[in-house]
């Protein structure tokens, strides 16, 4: 157990206090980030709990439910120590027709209840829409989430998107409690409009992608190759994405002098927490060793103004690019 304590922030209008460092469980699904070991995922969750982490984020589509199942097993006998967020939308997406299969409120509610069974719990703290199609899906998701909230099966609801117009529409009645968004040193576009809007609307911000899919850890080079089943293979197979990847690697090298007394990954996590709109950051971890590095970022002194100015000189506020869809 760490003697230091991770700080908490309130997740927007939900009123739920969560730790600044959470655990993202996308990789736990084992189907898009290369091979994973279930026991190491359990160990990473245990390490997180022992370190004071309270916030755990998953989705129905991660491993087609496997990530939710693992988290559900880990929670048995200690559900009260977990603040759980999950997402719904992509698992039953009809790619041929470009539509969500959740075309009625009843189907949406049934989908959330399936997730509750995988998680072995009767409620989740936060449910999030994982897709951003305006008509008619948004109205179905909103009505379904609100009914689930009234029934006590979800405490709050939100959306995972980088589309500002969609976020505004989703929050038209002011009920959206949280936004999950891709935001990092290398992808600062949300600073221009989305993050100020969230501050004004009291929408909590959950940051995914803070390590830019691993680029900001500093461990990748132009020669790095990713294995079978890892979506990052496109970074060296697609010419357009490769050009962005190589440019990002150059920015990482320029950031290295700032990592004095911390890892580059910790620098990247601290950067996101420096923005006043951000509630928590949820880096993934396949094992306790990776989670240890992440937790430490929440225990280090915050970045100084001079360090933030140095980052601004490398990637200006509101600038950057991303190499993974919203």
CATH number for the domain including 121? 3.20.20.100
Question: Domain for residue 323, yes or no?
Answer: no
Answer yes or no: is 27 within a domain.
Answer: yes
Q: Which residues contact 32 (CB under 8 A, 6 or more apart)?
A: 26, 62, 229, 230, 231
Residue 159: which domain range? Answer: 8-314
pLDDT at 99 over 70: no
Cα 45 to Cα 187: distance, rounded to the nearest angstrom: 28
Residue 17 lies in a domain: yes
Please identify which of the residues 47, 62, 166, 245 carries the catalytic annotation. 62
CA distance 91 to 88: 7
pLDDT at site 93: 56
pLDDT in tens, 178-193: 999 999 999 999 999 9
Q: What are the tokens at 311? A: 């980052």
Average pLDDT over residues 144-149: 98
* pTM score, whole prediction: 0.92
Please state the domain count of the chain. 1
- The answer to whether residue 118 is domain-embedded is yes
Instruction: Express each pLDDT in 57-89 by its tens digit.
Output: 999 988 888 999 999 999 999 999 999 999 998
Query: What's the pLDDT score for residue 326?
Result: 42
> Does the residue 319 lie in any domain?
no
Residue that has been written with the tokens 């997730």 in this structure? 115
- Would you say residue 213 lies in a domain? yes
**What pLDDT, on a 0 to 100 scale, did the predictor assign at position 135?**
60
Q: Rounded CA gap, 102 and 75, in Å?
A: 28
**Residue 62 is a catalytic residue:** yes
Q: What are 255-287's pLDDT values in tens digits?
A: 999 998 899 999 999 999 999 999 999 998 889
Residue 310 inside a domain? The answer is: yes
Residue 283 located in a structural domain: yes
Give the residue among 27, 86, 20 at the shortest CA–CA distance from 57. 86
Residue at token pair 């995922």: 41
Average pLDDT, the chain: 90
């Amino acid at each position: 157990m760490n003697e230091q304590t991770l700080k908490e922030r309130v997740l927007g209008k939900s009123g739920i206090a969560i730790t600044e460092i959470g655990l993202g469980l996308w990789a736990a699904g084992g189907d898009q980030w290369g091979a994973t070991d279930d026991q190491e995922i359990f160990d990473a969750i245990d390490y997180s709990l022992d370190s004071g982490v309270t916030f755990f984020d998953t989705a129905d589509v991660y491993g087609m439910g496997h990530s939710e199942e693992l988290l559900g097993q880990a929670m048995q006998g200690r559900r009260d120590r977990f603040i759980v967020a999950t997402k719904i939308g992509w698992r039953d997406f009809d790619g041929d027709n470009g539509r969500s299969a959740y075309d009625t409120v009843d189907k949406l509610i049934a989908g959330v209840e399936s997730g509750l069974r995988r998680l072995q719990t009767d409620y989740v703290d936060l449910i999030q829409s994982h897709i951003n199609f305006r008509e008619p899906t948004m109205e179905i998701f909103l009505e379904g989430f609100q009914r689930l909230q009234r029934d006590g099966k979800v405490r709050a609801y939100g959306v995972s998107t980088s589309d500002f117009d969609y976020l505004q529409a989703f929050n038209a009645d002011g009920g959206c409690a949280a936004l999950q968004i891709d935001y990092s040193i290398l992808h600062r576009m949300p600073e221009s409009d989305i993050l100020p809007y969230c501050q004004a609307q009291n929408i909590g911000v959950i940051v995914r992608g803070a390590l830019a899919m691993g680029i900001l850890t500093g461990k990748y080079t132009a020669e790095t190759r990713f294995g079978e089943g890892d979506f990052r293979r496109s970074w060296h197979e697609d010419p357009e994405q490769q050009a962005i990847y190589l440019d990002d690697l150059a920015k990482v090298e320029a950031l290295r002098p700032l990592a004095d007394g911390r890892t580059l990954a910790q620098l990247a996590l601290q950067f996101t927490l420096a923005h006043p709109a951000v509630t928590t950051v949820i880096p993934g971890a396949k094992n306790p060793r990776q989670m240890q590095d992440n937790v430490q970022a929440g225990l280090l002194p915050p970045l100084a103004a001079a360090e933030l100015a140095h980052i601004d000189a490398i990637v200006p506020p509101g600038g950057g690019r991303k190499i993974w869809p919203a």
